[in-house]
Amino acid sequence: MAKVAYFGPAGTFTEAAALRYAPEAELVPFPSIGAVAQAVANGKADEGVVPIENSLEGSVNDTLDLLVHGTSLLIRRELVIPIEHCLLAPPGMRETDIRTIYSHPQALGQCRAYIARRFPNAAVVPAMSTAAAAEQLRLQPDGAAAIGTLRAAQLYGMEVLARGIQDNPSNVTRFVALAHTDSPPTGNDKTSLCFWFNDDRPGLLHAALGEFARRKVNLVKVESRPTKQSLGQYVFLLDMAGHRLDPVVAEAIEALRRQVAVLKVFGSYPRYANGG
């Protein structure tokens, strides 16, 4: 039986993504995104599922930094799941009793307006995950609540005081499966990569991105992150339509490689289709 590591513990949205991705696999939770990648790299798991982007809060920086600096693993698959956040509390607690709210920083950000409107005086405390926040309620004094999943409420014996508390009903998160190899071409693929420059002069980025425009390769996402080497230096991250083995995409990537200091391909994988 295949083993799939995921950013846990049980009761997180990443567990839900892993269950959807590999329902027949043995799922193994790990306490951080880096630990998931390490488990795959060391052979303790065949693949690892981690969050990479949320429709409200944007990219998951820990995953991007891991792909850029921390691993040689490749993206094999992507999937998108809707996010429904719930307000969880120990049995018998009322909303008027809540003085502290725990959750993962991404979840807290996705419910920012709800918290400000309903609990303007509550302390907001980050947790390692939404499930860890629910579990933490067992150890906290009265007045503590958490933002988490319905499954977390069931696992940790909490009551659901409110459902669907995310600020935007269209809230979804994209997850990726990391492995030692990426996916072969399917005809409907994406490729992700990063690059950066050693110098800085006008037109550098324009020329680099122009390699894709000239070949009519569609860039579906462009963003930047600090290189973590010096202030003012950035790594650029691209998602593009097509597989790295497609002749036109491969040509564009090689042309880009000649212009930049470092280029790292994160992998090619099937584009997510709803229900697929």
Active site residues: 173, 175
Cβ neighbors of 256 (< 8 A, separation 6 or more) are 195, 208, 211, 212, 263
Q: Which residues pair with 82 in a beta bridge?
A: 172
In angstroms, the CA 100 to CA 119 distance is 9
Contact 268, 183 (CB under 8 A): yes
Contact 92, 62 (CB under 8 A): no
DSSP 240: E
Contact 188, 132 (CB under 8 A): no
Cβ neighbors of 137 (< 8 A, separation 6 or more) are 88, 89, 90, 102, 144, 145, 146, 156, 158
Of 175, 186, 237, 239, residue with least CA distance to 47: 175
Q: Containing H/E element for 227?
A: none
Q: Containing H/E element for 154?
A: helix 150-156
> Following DSSP, what letter does each residue of 18-68 receive, concatenated?
HHHH-TTSEEEEESSHHHHHHHHHTTS-SEEEEEEEETTTEE-HHHHHIII
In angstroms, the CA 22 to CA 211 distance is 37
